[in-house]
A and B are shown apart, each in its own frame.
Chain A
Amino acid sequence: MPQIFTASADTRLRATALVIALAVVGAVLLGGGYMGSSYATLVGWVRHQPVPFSHEHHVGALGIDCRYCHTTVETSASAGFPPTHVCMTCHSQVWTGAPMLALVRQSLADNTPLRWNRVARLPDYVFFNHSIHVARGVPCVTCHGRVDKMPLMTRAHPFQMQWCLDCHRNPAPHLRPPDEITRMDWSAWDKDAAHKNYGALMVKAYGIQPSKLDACTVCHR
Chain B
Amino acid sequence: MTDLTAHPPRGRRYAEITGEITRVPLDFPQRRNWWILFSFSLLLLLVFIVSAGVLFTFGVGVWGNNIPVNWGIAISNYVFFLGIGHAGTLISAMLLVLNENWRNSLNRFAEAMTLVAVTCAGLYPILHLGRPWLFYWMALYPNTMTIQPQFRSPLTWDFFAVLTYLTVSLLFWYIGILPDLAASRDRARKRRWQVFYGLISLGWRGSAFHWARWRTCYAITAVIAVPLVVSVHSEISLLFAAGPIPGWTSTVFPPYFVLGAAFSGFAVVSMIAVVLRHAFGLYAFVTDRHLDLLAKMLLTTGLMTAYGYCIEVFDALYSGEKQDIATMFDRLTGGVAWSYWSAVICNFVPLQLLWLARVRRNPWLLFLISLSATIGMWFERYMLLVSSLYRDYLVSSWDSYFPSFWEWSLFAGMLGVFLTPFLLFVRFLPMMSAFEIKEAVFEQEQEGEEPRHA
Contact = CB atoms under 8 A, between A and B. Distances in A.
The reply to whether chain A is a binding partner of chain B is yes
Interface of A: 1, 4-5, 9-10, 13, 32, 35-36, 158, 160-162, 165
Closest 8 CB pairs of A and B: A160-B144, A161-B145, A162-B146, A4-B194, A4-B198, A10-B203, A162-B144, A35-B144
Nearest to B144: A160
Given A4-B185, A5-B198, A13 B146 contact: no
State which size class the interface on B falls in. Answer: 10 to 19
B185 A13 contact: no
What DSSP secondary structure best describes chain A's contact surface?
helix
A13 B202 contact: yes
Contacts of B199: 13
Contact of B203 (A9, A35, A158, A162): A9
A68 B147 CA distance: 39
Given A4-B198, A5-B195, A5-B198, 14 more contacts: A1-B186, A4-B194, A5-B203, A9-B203, A13-B202, A32-B142, A35-B143, A35-B144, A158-B144, A161-B144, A161-B145, A161-B146, A162-B144, A162-B145
Contacts of A32: 142
A35 B185 CA distance: 46
Contact of B146 (A5, A9, A165): A165
Contacts of B186: 1
Nearest to A31: B141
A4 B202 CA distance: 13
Interface of B: 142-147, 185-186, 191, 194-195, 198-199, 202-203
9 contacts: A4-B194, A5-B195, A5-B198, A10-B203, A13-B202, A13-B203, A35-B143, A160-B144, A162-B145
Contacts of B145: 160-162
A161 B186 CA distance: 59
A32 B194 CA distance: 42
A5 B142 CA distance: 43
A32 B142 CA distance: 8
B399 to A, nearest CB: 29
With most chain B CB atoms within 10 A of its CB, the pick from A4, A35, A36 is A4
A177 to B, nearest CB: 30
Contacts of A5: 195, 198, 203
Contacts of B143: 35
B195 A4 contact: yes
B272 to A, nearest CB: 32
Nearest to A5: B198
Contacts of A36: 144
Contacts of B194: 4
Contacts of A13: 199, 202-203
A124 to B, nearest CB: 16
Nearest to A1: B186
Nearest to B193: A4
